[in-house]
Structure 1
Amino acid sequence: MTLLTQFLNRLSVWIQSKYPDGIILLNNGLTRDQITEKIKSLPFQFPEELYELYQWRNGQKYGSKGAMKIINSKGFGYDIDLEIFDCRVFLPLEDAIEKYSFDLHGYDFSNPYTCFKYSWFPVFYRDGDSYLLVDIRENETCPIVYMHIQSLPEEALITYSSLTKMIMTLVEFYEAGGDEVGVHEFCDEFEQIWLQHNADIIADDFSQSLRDTRNGRPFSFYYNPNEEF
């Protein structure tokens, strides 16, 4: 069992404990053959991490297809998506392929003036806001890139060193008592765990435009954009 699969299984345990109604929103995993069949039209080789991820679960139900019922302290109930993947939903493979083909690249694969790189595959998504994409690099570790829907490629940020490091970071933070709010706010406790697993991206030469630093720390979309630097 790989490290990624171990941490995905730990994530399942945490979801079951934290959100008993949320675990049923995760779709059953696919077989390797099913994944291979679905991705045959993609212009790159699927990395093993994505095979593992979609064998674990084929994304989740979200939006009108499924949400959790939350009761607040005043007894009022409301529906929310299960957004534990860095405050985003986990796209089913079919949805991810559709978004890759249409939302990100348009209908013409020959168009060189696309807003997203062809190597960026959307896996995690916040409706109307942003993606976390796997930057698929042949025979290399594939980092996780944050991209706002209305941004340009040069404004993207490497957010995690790899899918494995992302899941490790989230699981360790959640198991230590953290929650999605702490992830969103990039709180001190989350930052410490993040740095343990992802500090190498600060020195990554992928592209200077894909990262920035603030007092030696990675600048992230979690920070308040109105804060004075």
Structure 2
Amino acid sequence: MSALTDALNRIMEWLQQNSPICASGFQPGLSPEEVEEKLGEIPFCVSREVHELYQWCNGTNDRCGVFVYHYLLDLDTALQYSQGFNDSYWLEVRERDGDPLHLFLIFDFDGEYFAVTGSDNLNDTAPIFHVGCDDGSLSFAFTNLTNMMLALAECYETGVYTVASDGYVEVTDEAKFGDIRRKHNPGAVKQLYAQGW
């Protein structure tokens, strides 16, 4: 079992034990052939980690996030959103700013995303960027999908995330989350949000 799948399973185990309402929002994964066919629709390659993620789970409902509030887009929606975010306007903006040209949006919360970079070649891993909802600004958030999920699994298991009275997961310690995120992702931005994440 890969480190990515192991981390995802740790997250699911925690959710099943502590927030069944959120655990029930995870959709079954797709076959390798389905993932390959769908990802073949985009004009760049995404990492093998993204292929593995969508074989493990094809999205969560929008009330149950993996990264607390950010839910995993199902692959068809991710393709649709990513198409718009890789049009000529956005490519020009990112080229001008020296940012990665191709982005594949995988996590969403009200128009704020986490996206994996795309490339001309199929790579095992790729960096994950936070995409601001107001201006599409990019912040280097995670070194790759595996390290993102390792950080999130640790947050679940160490009490950084807890279950609220309504059964949904919330963050209890933003600063500790930031410490864990940076531990697993050296070189990432110091803070994603003002509270210390």
TM-score by length of 1: 0.71
Q: Percent identity?
A: 29
Deviation at 1:86, TM superposition (A): 4.8
1:133 aligns with 2:115: yes
SS at match of 1:159: strand
The question of 1:123 aligning with 2:94 is answered no
> 2:42 is matched with which residue?
42
1:223 paired to 2:165: no
The structural deviation recorded for 1:110 is 8.9
* Cα root mean square deviation, aligned: 2.4
- Say which is worse superposed, 18-27 or 158-167, in terms of deviation: 18-27
1:61 Cα shift?
2.1
Structure 1 counterpart of 2:135, from 151, 159, 168? 151
Aligned residue identity for 1:105? N
Cα distance in 2 for residues equivalent to 1:163 and 1:95: 19
| CA distance in 2 between partners of 1:113 and 1:46 (Å) | 20
State the AA in 2 paired with 1:223: A
Which blocks of at least 5 consecutive residues in structure 1 are unaligned?
A: 63-80, 203-210, 212-217
**Post-superposition offset of 1:131:** 0.5
Rg (Cα) greater in structure = 1
Structure 1 residue 122: deviation in Å?
A: 0.2
Question: What do the CA deviations read for 1:51-70 (whole angstroms, capped 9, x no partner)?
Answer: 110011001122xxxxxxxx
Structure 2 residue ranges without an equivalent (≥5): 162-169
Question: Secondary structure at 1:221's aligned position in 2?
Answer: coil
TM-score, normalised by the number of residues in structure 2: 0.82
Structure 1 segments, 4+ long, off by >6 Å, are none
Q: Who is 1:65 aligned against? A: none
Displacement of 1:22 after TM fit?
A: 1.7
Matched ranges for 1:1-229 at <5 A: 1-62=1-62, 81-102=63-84, 104-106=85-87, 113=92, 118-128=101-111, 130-137=112-119, 138=121, 139=123, 141-152=125-136, 155-179=137-161, 180-182=170-172, 186-187=174-175, 189-199=176-186, 201-202=187-188, 211=189, 218=190, 220-224=191-195
Cα distance in 2 for residues equivalent to 1:141 and 1:6: 16
Q: Deviations over 1:167-187 (max 9, x none)?
A: 0001011111121424xx632
Cα displacement string for residues 101-154 of structure 1 (whole angstroms, at most 9, x for unaligned residues): 12x135xx59853568542100000113x11000124447411101113225xx
Q: Residues 111, 164 of structure 1: CA spacing in aligned structure 2 closer, same or farther, 3 A cutoff?
A: closer
Number of aligned residue pairs: 182
Q: Output the CA distance in 1 between the equivalents of 2:3 and 2:90.
A: 38
> C-alpha offsets along residues 38-79 of structure 1, whole Å, 9 cap, x if unaligned?
1221111231101110011001122xxxxxxxxxxxxxxxxx
